[in-house]
Amino acid sequence: MNDLTILVVEDDASVRNLMAMTLRAHQYRYRTAASGEGAMRELTARAPDVVLLDLGLPDMDGVDIIKSVRAWSELPIIVISARSEDSDKIAALDAGADDYLTKPFSVDELLARLRVVQRRLARSAPDSEPVFVNGALEIDYRAAEVRVAGQTVALTPNEYKLLCLFAKNAGKVLTHTYITDKLWGNSLESDVATLRVFMASLRRKLETAPAQPKLFQTHVGIGYRMNKL
């Protein structure tokens, strides 16, 4: 039995049933809501561990649900939407969604995304680790030291800050706006260009094969993700 409780928010009964069937078959506990109002009721009554959220709901836009949840909770939200435009993805990710699946989605992909969330929840459990490890990368927070395969890597303060932001959100796509806001407290166009420069130097310093980046994945026009290795 998986110990996660998942809230499925989907107004389309056939999609909702498919998700319920999938979750049941994989021993996930779940509840369902067919409207925005129903979702808000479920969310406030008994907070689930993860939300699978459709954006096009009859009474509410899913993005507004994300915003209101984020006012009080960091619980993982995976958007599953027919909206496939980058601008829709950006809006959902900027509002605080953790991940985005486009319909029609594959059941295997949904399960894989859930496993990512599950690993993150397990890892971020009580007191956070003093050392972050991802593949060959290690961040020793106490010493503010970064190592790749045991070798210390010198980072500038900005690069270190950027790396810590990715580490804190490993597995999540971070939008350009989100990153520049966190780093510099604003998000000017010019910052996106600066960010690209920082990303290039982080990759040069941290990727074991910079020509085939594995650690940092670019989402063109959206942002970057630190992959879990």
Q: In the Cβ-directed half-sphere of 81, how many Cα atoms lie within 13 Å?
A: 25
Question: How close are the terminal C-alpha atoms of the chain, in Å?
Answer: 26
Give the shortest CB-60-to-Ca ion separation in angstroms. 11
Q: Does 61 bind Ca ion (CB under 5 A)?
A: no
Give the shortest CB-32-to-Ca ion separation in angstroms. 13
Our CB check for Ca ion shows the closer of 12 and 207 to be 12
Q: Does 88 bind Ca ion (CB under 5 A)?
A: no
Q: Does 56 bind Ca ion (CB under 5 A)?
A: yes
Cβ–Cβ under 8 Å, residues 121 and 49: yes
Give the shortest CB-228-to-Ca ion separation in angstroms. 30
Give the shortest CB-82-to-Ca ion separation in angstroms. 7
- In degrees and rounded to multiples of 5, residue 94 shows phi and psi of -65, -35
In the chain, what's the furthest Cα-to-Cα distance? Answer: 54
Q: Does 54 bind Ca ion (CB under 5 A)?
A: yes
Our CB check for Ca ion shows the closer of 11 and 138 to be 11
> To which H or E segment does residue 212 belong?
none
Q: Which residue of 5, 11, 177, 192 would you call a contact of Ca ion, by CB under 5 A?
A: 11
Quick one: tokens of 186? Answer: 């604003």
Using DSSP bridges, classify how beta strands 173-175 and 131-134 pair: parallel, antiparallel or unpaired.
unpaired
Binding residues (CB under 5 A) for Ca ion: these are 11, 54, 56
